Chains A and B, each alone.
Chain A
Amino acid sequence: MICTDARGKLDDYEDGLLTEAELHEVELHLAACADCRAEVSRLRALIRRASSVPREMDPPRDLWPDIVDRLAPREGRPPVRRLRRFLAHPVALAAAAAVFVALATVTVRRETAAPTPTGAPAPIAARASDDHVQAAEVDYIRATGQLMGALDARRGSLSPETRNAVDENLRVIDDALKQVRDALEEDPGNRQLTRMLASTHQKKLDLLLRLLKLTAQI
């Protein structure tokens, strides 16, 4: 038996699934092959390690408040979890990408209380009381505007199916953004919602980057 054949049977060997004849062949090979014996040792070590991992882990935070909010939502407050579920759709589509100025600005401005820039286009979240959110929206509009312009320039080269898929992706994430902004308007200063807005901005920017990359390959 050669190593390739033996290696192909090592999992079944460890799991006790070989026939008598196969077992005999593998054991003969292992007796003569140090490399394959080392491979068996590594496999056994992995299986032992897996069976001894801790079966319990503390979540990073107490999840009960969000759970009870879903089981018995408080009146007058938007159920935050429903937004997360909605946002799970674009999460499935967006990927980690380079950090954009808009996202960095949300983080930095929130910490340093920078003034709202003048001469900028009217932010979408103009009614939100948080100046940092408005400033971040301005930067976000600028960044997405540039990316959307680039994407629009490539629309002509896309099939109708792909154009529809691109539009559907963008519609879903824009709907998610609207939900977060509406919730923030009802509960301004809510840190969790502010973080969610920044995160959704990033997701849209990531999505636009990915779409641009994809359309460049078609």
Chain B
Amino acid sequence: MAVGSMALRDATQSGPTRIPLPIDQERRARERDLVRAAQDGDLVAFEALYRDNVRRVFALCFRLAGNPDLAEELTQDVFVRAWQKLPSFRGESAFSTWLHPLAVNVALSERRSRRRRLARVMPTDDLTLFEDADNTPTPAPEAGLDLDKALALLPDGARAVFVLHEVEGYKHEEIAEMTGMAPGTSKAQLHRARRLLREALAS
């Protein structure tokens, strides 16, 4: 029996089959070409990858940072890091799938190094006076408060866990690995974030 007719028989007799749509295949092929070119140093190709992915990366950085200026900085950092690590991308997943945990890592690293800088220069005094005023500890109830605005008001740890768990879909074990906190702490931070957000969003 010819291969073509076997394939047709399978398609008709085995029910719905996962056949990649032509548009997905085309998109993946284009992305593969861009990545290869960028890996060879082609900035124009890397810009195309940037344009395809910046909105997703910025949304993630914006929610993790809680601050639009910092989100811009982090987004830039993500793509600079991606460029540096591009040789290690093997193409086993989509570029966006590879980029996403890298973006999370960049955003969380910035938070960790900011805390270390604070601790280093003010070892004996109350650090809370020097914390970024955009991250005030307790959101006040405000009618019709947008979720993103409420997220920005959360303490850093609670916001990071909420974004990673509820928005991005990571499990506590994965969050623990990314953030360096214990899974139990991740869970506690999530519960705290949910409680604070419910209070802030109550109208």
Given A50-B147, A64-B47: A84 in contact with B73 (beta carbons within 8 A): yes
Residues of A with C-beta under 8 A to B162: 50
B62, B76, B201: the one contacting A63 at CB < 8 Å is B76
Question: From DSSP, what is the main secondary structure of chain B's interface residues?
Answer: helix
Judged by a CB distance under 8 angstroms, whether A70 is at the interface is yes
Question: From DSSP, what is the main secondary structure of chain A's interface residues?
Answer: helix
Report the Cα distance A218→B68, complex, angstroms: 34
Within 8 A of B (CB), among A56-74: 56-61, 63-64, 66-68, 70-72
User: Min CB distance, A82 to chain B, in Å?
Assistant: 12
Residue of B nearest to A68 (CB): B43
B59, B75, B134, B197: the one contacting A55 at CB < 8 Å is B59
Judged by a CB distance under 8 angstroms, whether A157 is at the interface is no
Report the Cα distance A94→B72, complex, angstroms: 19
The stretch from B6-14, B87-95, B123-131, B173-181 touching chain A is: B123-131
B interface bracket (residues with beta carbon within 8 Å of A)? 35 or more
Judged by a CB distance under 8 angstroms, whether A129 is at the interface is no
Judged by a CB distance under 8 angstroms, whether B167 is at the interface is yes
Q: Which residues of B contact A (CB under 8 A)?
A: 43, 46-47, 50-51, 54-56, 58-59, 62, 68, 71-73, 75-76, 79-80, 83, 114, 117-118, 121-126, 129-134, 147-148, 162, 166-167, 187, 190-191, 194, 197-198, 201-202
